[in-house]
Structure 1
Amino acid sequence: MFPDLLRDDIFRLETKRLWLRWPRMADAAAIVRLAGDKDVAQMTERLPHPYPPSAAEKWIFESRVGNAQGSAAVLALTLKTRPEDLIGMVGIHQTRPGRAVLGYWIGKPFWNQGLAREAVGELVDLAFRTSEVERIDAQVRVDNPASRAVLEDSGFRLEGVGLVDMPVRGGAFDCQRFQLDRAGWMAAQQVRDAALLHADCVRSAG
């Protein structure tokens, strides 16, 4: 799905405040601490609580394999000021030709700063610009408005609500299903470009 450019572990994405890079085995302790936090894990479908170190190492290995094969783009979030220190994760995984699923989490000390939105927007743009993906799906629990806002701000559209079985959480939970297709993404890009052009014109006139 993803081109050779992304399949090298020196690949890195830059945003205003973040570096997004491949996960490393050295990130395991941060994943155990941050992803294993109850408040973080309970809003996800798969993050265990507590998070065993062996599970973190296995997840890192599998993510690197997916990146190398081009079937996924799974990247660690780090602040530019501390590029070695993982603060969260964002990933897009191919589910079938032309379709992919988005997942993300960010450590509790970094909530409410817009960092997840910054990372998700950058990776979604990369997916549509460099791969053949035509639609990206995502879901959030109905009691997770912050995560829902990340998707809405990134252009995702609500498709419906339904129960999702989450064995690691001990049952089924109401979740909102979102999707963003290429046409929707391109329309959002046009709106964004027009807004930037208008801002440039205003500055020039001033």
Structure 2
Amino acid sequence: MSESANAAPESAPVESQARHVVYCGVCTLPPEYCEFGGTVKKCEEWLKTNHPDMHARIYSEEALAATLSTLSVDAQKRAERDSLKKQAKAEAAEAREQEKKMSAKVLIKRVERSKRKYVTAVSGLEAHGLELKKVAKELGKKFATGSSVTKVPSGGEEIVVQGDLSDEIYDWITGTYGDIPEDNIDCIEDKKKKGSGAGGPA
């Protein structure tokens, strides 16, 4: 009786243990399956930074040699070709995305709404991978003013900030998001014309 009573506590911790599964921060698969995605290189870098012990276990020379040894010569060649193809495809997609970002324009436009009342509209940030609602919130806090995301007639969206803040927003974007080239950021003015007066310089 006393023996069975003593045995119960020993088995209890085993039942309460939960298995902790790590998921890759790049492809979202468990690290053991990252090789089936197209971002193996990035996955490996992420794992090395965040879980060095697991990286050493999966990507050590011994582990890779053991995996290859279970494959036939033909299968090894196929696996190597497939891996190179996936890597090349992922790199090409990344290069296209980078090229798209490098050419995408960010427009900061001062708009006159009424006499001496201005708003500043910012468009093109989404092409650089930024979430407009989050940036609008940051701008509102930074400049203590109203800031919201609105739809534009062309079908896209822009951030509208209350006040004439073109220069300040330009400085803030270049300082906060350094990966956006300054040459890609343009400040323009959308001012209501009231007719030009005569008598200007000839």
Question: Into which bin does the TM-score normalised by the smaller protein fall?
Answer: under 0.3
Structure with a larger share of its residues in strand: 1
Larger radius of gyration: 2
* Superposition TM-score, scaled by structure 1 size: 0.20
Q: Scaled by the length of structure 2, what TM-score is found?
A: 0.20
